[in-house]
Amino acid sequence: MISTSEFIPLSIPEIRSNEWKYVKECLDTGWVSSAGPFVDRFEKEFAHCVHSPNAVATVNGTAALHIALLVAGVQPDDEVLVSDLTFIAPVNAIRYAGAWPVLIDADRQSWQMDVNQARSFLERKCSVSNGETRNRQTGRRVKAIVPVHILGNCVDMDPVLQLAKEFNLMVIEDATEGLGSRYKGQPLGTIGDVGCFSFNGNKIITTGGGGMMVSPDDEMSRRARYLTTQAKDDEIEFVHGAIGYNYRLTNIQAAIGCAQLEVLSEYVETKRRIAAKYTASFQNVTGIVPMPQVDWCYSNCWLYTILVDETQARVDSRKLASILQQNGVQTRPLWQPMHLSAPHRGCEPSACPVSEMLNRRSISLPCSSGLSAEAQQRVISTILQHV
């Protein structure tokens, strides 16, 4: 029984700023590729937006993560701690660098990386000597930690920074879902040594595809710009000093990014309003856990997600998803936990019970910044009718 009313997508981009105007400028002037004024402008305006001294634009968020790991000094056969409950990109990026992910379970309250579990791994399984941390079992150096800020909420960063200090780890924030969010007032992505962002079509702002790496460290940023542009030492003779990558964002994409950045704060406000409405509607409903809010996080509410507790509700999350689907509402569960995914199944550890529970119970709801109040009400009513 397909509803006759309009289909409500999960999360789609909204193009209503100066995108056309800026893209036209690129086409009219012929600056369409990876050089051109908009790339520099986008980097500058983005850096300003998140209060970072440096920003390097990349073809996508995954490339930003790959480069961030390299400039942070992650080397083949190092180990890198990373959230188990995440989109797969940061875990893949660790493998691109030839390093090994150590998966950290999620925290029950915040759904983010459980930093206590990271501490327990480092304290129980590793030793520190000569300023280096090694996994005693594998003999490998543990070089970095990648907290993934999921859904627009924040990993608790103070204890991450404390761990980094004690165990000599580089902190690479995956802030790809967290542009506009703040941890204790500080923009996500600017708290660790390096931060990465994504402008994929489903993110809070989009360039079609794109990414950004930010860092307070000038040398790491310079190195990132060098590596993302084929490590060219001589522009004329084409002399290259390293194995670089073709990871530079194009001027057309950056033009779209400049326009999107102009309306970021409006998108964040809208997303927060949508989230507040969902949370108010589900607050005291048996069987539903609304998206967590934690004191230390000002969230961009990127992807509004609830848990359906199958022991208390009349349906489980997948059944509810199929009912919503029949009513023209697109939803999605959270990602398959990394320790269960085929390419990363061998990683330590083999059990992450909290991320498994969150995956099983979760359902992300439509929350595009263009979502109408009527459409949102339809989603809410359908859910309340069936749980």
Ligand X SMILES: *Cc1c(COP(=O)(O)O)cnc(C)c1O
**Which residues lie near ligand X (CB under 6 A)?**
60-62, 86-87, 89-90, 148, 174, 176-177, 198, 200, 211
Complex with ligand X: residue 54 or 198, whichever CB lies closer: 198
Count of C-beta atoms within a 10 Å radius of residue 9: 15
Q: How far is the CB of 166 from ligand X (least distance, A)?
A: 26
In this chain, which residue has its C-beta nearest to ligand X?
61
Complex with ligand X: residue 155 or 308, whichever CB lies closer: 155
Q: How far is the CB of 57 from ligand X (least distance, A)?
A: 12
Count of C-beta atoms within a 10 Å radius of residue 32: 15
Q: How far is the CB of 376 from ligand X (least distance, A)?
A: 23
Q: How far is the CB of 112 from ligand X (least distance, A)?
A: 11
The span from the CA of 306 to the CA of 143, in Å, is 34
The span from the CA of 147 to the CA of 195, in Å, is 10
Number of H helices, E strands in the chain: 12, 17
Phi, psi of 25 (to 5 degrees): -60, -40
Amino acid making up residue 321 = A
Q: Which residues pair with 102 in a beta bridge?
A: 81, 348
Q: Where are the beta strands (DSSP E) in 204-357?
A: 211-214, 232-234, 239-240, 288-289, 297-298, 305-308
Complex with ligand X: residue 200 or 250, whichever CB lies closer: 200
Complex with ligand X: residue 152 or 290, whichever CB lies closer: 152
Q: How far is the CB of 197 from ligand X (least distance, A)?
A: 8
Amino acid making up residue 335 = W
Complex with ligand X: residue 72 or 313, whichever CB lies closer: 72
Contact call for residues 211 and 202 (beta carbons, < 8 A): no
Complex with ligand X: residue 72 or 387, whichever CB lies closer: 72
Contact call for residues 237 and 245 (beta carbons, < 8 A): no
Q: How far is the CB of 29 from ligand X (least distance, A)?
A: 27
Complex with ligand X: residue 96 or 125, whichever CB lies closer: 96
Complex with ligand X: residue 22 or 302, whichever CB lies closer: 302
Token pair of 311 as six digits: 């022991």
Q: How far is the CB of 99 from ligand X (least distance, A)?
A: 16
The span from the CA of 98 to the CA of 83, in Å, is 18
Complex with ligand X: residue 135 or 198, whichever CB lies closer: 198
β-pairing, 55-58 vs 211-214, is antiparallel
Q: Which residues pair with 171 in a beta bridge?
A: 145
Across 296-335, b (16+ Cβ under 10 Å) vs e yields ebbbbbbbbbbbbbbeebebbbeebbebbeebbbbbebbb
Q: How far is the CB of 148 from ligand X (least distance, A)?
A: 5
Q: How far is the CB of 382 from ligand X (least distance, A)?
A: 26
Q: How far is the CB of 175 from ligand X (least distance, A)?
A: 9
- 269 Cβ contact list (under 8 Å, min separation 6): none
Q: To 10 degrees, the CA torsion angle through 211, 215, 220, 226? A: 30
Complex with ligand X: residue 195 or 287, whichever CB lies closer: 195
Q: To 10 degrees, the CA torsion angle through 40, 46, 47, 52? A: -150
